[in-house]
C-alpha cells in the first residue's frame, strides 16, 4: 500500500506522510493505492461473500489497516440495499435500489470514514482526534472515537441542527460551535490540529476517509450480486448469520449498477464511491463502471458549476441551502468529485430546496426510508433525471441515502405536514375525519 498525490502523481510510503502531498499544500489530496495482484492472491469476491462479518470489516483485505479487526468494535456498514419496487414502478424503473446508509450507528454514511480513520488513529497511537464537520462527520467521529476510547474535539458551525450537536455531546466529544460557516470551521480545525498536534480527520485532508467511504460501493456491488444470485431481499439486509445456509453458493463476481445517485457537498462521498468502484474494477471483481450522478443543492453548486464549465478547478461560491450537510461554499474534494462524474460519463444535477423537501415524504411514504435533507437531495436528483427522461427503464439504478431524517426534525416537520390536535373523544375523531 502506498499514497499517491492526485495532482502530481508523486508517491509516498504511508509512514512517510500523514495527510497531503507537501508539494501542493492542502490541495495535494492523496489516493491510497494497492497492489491488486497481491490482494487477488489472498482475497476474492466469493471468499468475502462467505464472510459472516456484517460490517465494513468484511472488506479488510481492501482497507489500508494492519491491526486485525474489530477496530473499533462499532458495527458500521452492511446497510440495507432495498429493491424499491413500489416507487420504481411509479417512476418506470424496474431495477431501482435504495441504499439506506442512515442505518449506520450514528445515523449517517460518515460512520464509514470515521471508523476507518479511528482504526488508523489507534494504529498510530494518537492522543486526540479532531475534525470539522457540518454535523454528521463530527457525530460519526465522536461515536467511533467513543467506541475506541480516544478523546475527540469537534468543530461545527453554530447553526448545525440540534440533533447533531446532541450526538456530539452525548458521545463525550469536546465540541466547538464556530460562529461562522462550515468552511471557516474547517480552516480553524486544520489550524488547531497543526498547533496542538491532534490527529485530523478533515475531509479531503486525511487520505483514509475516502477508503472508509469506498466501502459503500463495495457493498452495493456485493449486495446486487447476492440479489441477482437469487438471495431474497431479506437475506441481504439481515445479519449474515441468517443468510449463510449450508446451501449458500457465493457469487464469483460482483455486480455493478448502471448508475449511482449521490448527494455532493465537499465531494468526498462521491470520490470514495468512485475509489471503491475503481478498486473493484482493477481487481476484476466487477466488469463495468457505473455512471456517477452527483446531486447538489441549487444554492450550493460549486462542483456542478465546474462540471458545466468543463473544468475541474473549483471556484468558491456563497453557499446556502436547507440541506445543511451539503451547504458547502468551497468543496474540499471538489476536483476529485468532478473527475469522478466526468470519468464515468455521469452528470451533475442541481435540485432546489423545495424539491429536496418534496422528495422526503415521497421516499418515506414510498419505501419507508426517512432521509435528512442532504440525503433526500440524491432522491430529488433521481426524480429530476426521470422527469428529464435521462434514464432507461431497464437500467439498474442505486440512490444512496446518506443520513437519517431524525437528524434534522425542523426540516422534517416542514416537509411532513401537520398533525391534527383533537379533544379525547370519538366525536372529535369523527369530526376531524370529515
Ligand atoms: C447526509 C449527508 N449527505 C451528503 C453529504 C455530502 O458528502 P460530501 O461532503 O463528502 O460530498 C454529507 C456530508 O456531510 C452528509 O452528511
Ligand atoms: Zn503533489
pLDDT at 62: 97
The answer for residues whose C-beta is within 8 angstroms of residue 227's C-beta and 6 or more apart is: 81, 83, 233, 236
CA 268 – ligand 1 centroid, Å: 8
- pLDDT at residue number 243: 61
Of the ranges 19-28, 247-256, 331-340, the best mean pLDDT one: 331-340
Q: Between the CA atoms of 375, 104, 235 and 255, what dihedral angle is there, to the nearest 10 degrees?
A: 60
**Best mutation site among 108, 276, 304 for ligand 1 pocket (most ligand atoms within 8 Å of CB):** 108
Q: Is the pLDDT of residue 294 over 70?
A: yes
Q: What is the CA radius of gyration of the chain?
A: 21
Q: Is the pLDDT of residue 196 over 90?
A: yes
Confidence class of residue 246 from pLDDT cuts 50, 70 and 90?
A: low
Tens-place pLDDT, residues 63-72: 999 877 666 7
pLDDT surpasses 80 at 121: yes
For residues 110 and 51, the model is more confident at 110
Taking alpha carbons only, the member of 87, 116, 120 closest to residue 104 is 116
Q: Give the C-alpha separation, 338 to 22, whole Å.
A: 23
Mean pLDDT of the chain: 94
Spell out the long-range contacts of 167-174 with Cβ–Cβ below 8 A and sequence spacing 24 or more.
167/106, 167/139, 167/142, 167/143, 168/138, 168/139, 168/142, 171/106, 171/139, 171/142, 171/143, 171/145, 171/146, 172/142, 172/146, 173/138, 173/141, 173/142, 173/145, 173/146
Residue 217 pLDDT > 90: yes
Burial-class residue 192 by CB neighbours within 10 Å (0-12, 13-18, 19+).
middle
Report the nearest atom of ligand 1 relative to the CA of 264: 11
| Candidate of 402, 404, 407, 412 to mutate for ligand 1, largest count of ligand atoms within 8 Å of Cβ | 402
Query: In this predicted structure, what is the pLDDT of residue 235?
Result: 62
pLDDT score recorded for residue 141: 98
In this predicted structure, the answer to whether residue 324 has a pLDDT above a threshold of 60 is yes
Can you tell me the distance from the alpha carbon of 78 to that of 101, in angstroms, rounded to the nearest whole number?
9
Q: Give the pLDDT score at 239.
A: 57
Best mutation site among 109, 140, 268 for ligand 1 pocket (most ligand atoms within 8 Å of CB): 109
Position 240 scores a pLDDT of: 62
- Which among 265, 268, 360 is the best mutation to test ligand 1's pocket, defined by most ligand atoms within 8 Å of the CB? 265
**Out of 5-9, 107-111, 241-245, 342-346, least confident range:** 241-245
Cα(55) to ligand 1 centroid in Å equals 20
Reported confidence tier of residue 236, pLDDT bands at 50, 70, 90: low
How much distance in Å is there from the Cα of 24 to the middle of ligand 2? Answer: 5
Question: Which atom from ligand 1 is nearest to the alpha carbon of 337?
Answer: 11
**Ligand 1 neighbours (beta carbon < 6 A):** 108, 110, 134, 136-137, 203, 263-269, 325-326, 372, 374-375, 402-403
Mean pLDDT computed over 346-353: 98
Mean local confidence (pLDDT), 33-50? 96
- The domains located in the chain, with CATH, are 76-105+210-416 (3.40.50.1100)
Phi, psi of 150 (to 5 degrees): -115, 130
pLDDT of residue 111: 98
**127 burial level (CB within 10 Å; 0-12, 13-18, 19+):** exposed
**pLDDT > 90 in the chain, percent:** 88
| pLDDT surpasses 70 at 119 | yes
- The bound ligand whose nearest atom lies closest to the alpha carbon of 326 is 1
Region 237-254: mean pLDDT is 71
Q: How far apart are CA 9 and CA 363, in angstroms?
A: 42
Average pLDDT over residues 184-201: 96
* 241 pLDDT more than 60: no
Predicted local confidence at residue 396, as pLDDT: 98
The region of weakest confidence among 39-53, 154-168, 224-238, 247-261 is 224-238
- On the question of pLDDT at 185 being above 90, the answer is yes
Distance separating alpha carbons of residues 388 and 369, to the nearest angstrom? 24
Q: Region 388-404: what's the mean pLDDT? A: 97
User: At residue 231, does pLDDT exceed 80?
Assistant: no
Report the alpha-carbon distance of residue 231 to residue 240 in Å, rounded. 12
Nearby residues of 31 by Cβ (< 8 Å), 6 or more positions away: 3, 4, 5, 6, 207, 210, 275
- What is the whole-number distance in angstroms between the Cα of residue 34 and the centre of ligand 1? 26
- Summarised one tens digit per residue, pLDDT across range 400-433 is 999 999 999 999 999 999 999 999 999 999 999 9
Å from CA of 384 to ligand 1 middle: 20
Q: What is the pLDDT of residue 54?
A: 87
Q: What is the pLDDT of residue 71?
A: 66
Side-chain-facing half-sphere of 197: CA atoms under 13 Å = 4
Amino acid at each position: 500500500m502506498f499514497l499517491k498525490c492526485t495532482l502530481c502523481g508523486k508517491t509516498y510510503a504511508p509512514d512517510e506522510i500523514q495527510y497531503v502531498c507537501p508539494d501542493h499544500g492542502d490541495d495535494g489530496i492523496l489516493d491510497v493505492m494497492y497492489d491488486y495482484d497481491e490482494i487477488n492472491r489472498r482475497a476474492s469476491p466469493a471468499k468475502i461473500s462467505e464472510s459472516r462479518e456484517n460490517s465494513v470489516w468484511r472488506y479488510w483485505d481492501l482497507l489500508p489497516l494492519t491491526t486485525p479487526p474489530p477496530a473499533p468494535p462499532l458495527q458500521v456498514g452492511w446497510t440495507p440495499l432495498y429493491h424499491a419496487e413500489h416507487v420504481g414502478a411509479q417512476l418506470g424503473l424496474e431495477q431501482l435500489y435504495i441504499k439506506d446508509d442512515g442505518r449506520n450507528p450514528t445515523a449517517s454514511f460518515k460512520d464509514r470514514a470515521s471508523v476507518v480513520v479511528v482504526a488508523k488513529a489507534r494504529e498510530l497511537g494518537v492522543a486526540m482526534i479532531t475534525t470539522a464537520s457540518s454535523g454528521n462527520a463530527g457525530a460519526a467521529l465522536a461515536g467511533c472515537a467513543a467506541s475506541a476510547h480516544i478523546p475527540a474535539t469537534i468543530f461545527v458551525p453554530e447553526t448545525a441542527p440540534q440533533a447533531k450537536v446532541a450526538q456530539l455531546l452525548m458521545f463525550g466529544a469536546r465540541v466547538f460551535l464556530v460562529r461562522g460557516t462550515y468552511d471557516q470551521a474547517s480552516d480553524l480545525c486544520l489550524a488547531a490540529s497543526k498547533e496542538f498536534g491532534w490527529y485530523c480527520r478533515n475531509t479531503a485532508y486525511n487520505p483514509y476517509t475516502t477508503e472508509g467511504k469506498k466501502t459503500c460501493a463495495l457493498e452495493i456491488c456485493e449486495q446486487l450480486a447476492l440479489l441477482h444470485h437469487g438471495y431474497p431481499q431479506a437475506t441481504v439486509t439481515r445479519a449474515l448469520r441468517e443468510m449463510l445456509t449450508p446451501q449458500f453458493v457465493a457469487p464469483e463476481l460482483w455486480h455493478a449498477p448502471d448508475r449511482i445517485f449521490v448527494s455532493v457537498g465537499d465531494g468526498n462521498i462521491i470520490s470514495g464511491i468512485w475509489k471503491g468502484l475503481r478498486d473493484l474494477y482493477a481487481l476484476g471483481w466487477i466488469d463495468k463502471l457505473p455512471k456517477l450522478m452527483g446531486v447538489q443543492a441549487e444554492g450550493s453548486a460549486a462542483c456542478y458549476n465546474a462540471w458545466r464549465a468543463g473544468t475541474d478547478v473549483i471556484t468558491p461560491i456563497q453557499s446556502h441551502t436547507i440541506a445543511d450537510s451539503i451547504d458547502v461554499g468551497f468543496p474540499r474534494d471538489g476536483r476529485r468529485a468532478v473527475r469522478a462524474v466526468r470519468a464515468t460519463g455521469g452528470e451533475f444535477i442541481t435540485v432546489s430546496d423545495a424539491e429536496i423537501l418534496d422528495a422526503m415524504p415521497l421516499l418515506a411514504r414510498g419505501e419507508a426510508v426517512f432521509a435528512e435533507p442532504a440525503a433526500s437531495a440524491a432522491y430529488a436528483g433521481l426524480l429530476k433525471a426521470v422527469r428529464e427522461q435521462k434514464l432507461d427503464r431497464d437500467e439498474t439504478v442505486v440512490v444512496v441515502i446518506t443520513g437519517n431524517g431524525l437528524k434534522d426534525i425542523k426540516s422534517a416537520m416542514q416537509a411532513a405536514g401537520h398533525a391534527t390536535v383533537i379533544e379525547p373523544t370519538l366525536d372529535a375523531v369523527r369530526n376531524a375525519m370529515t
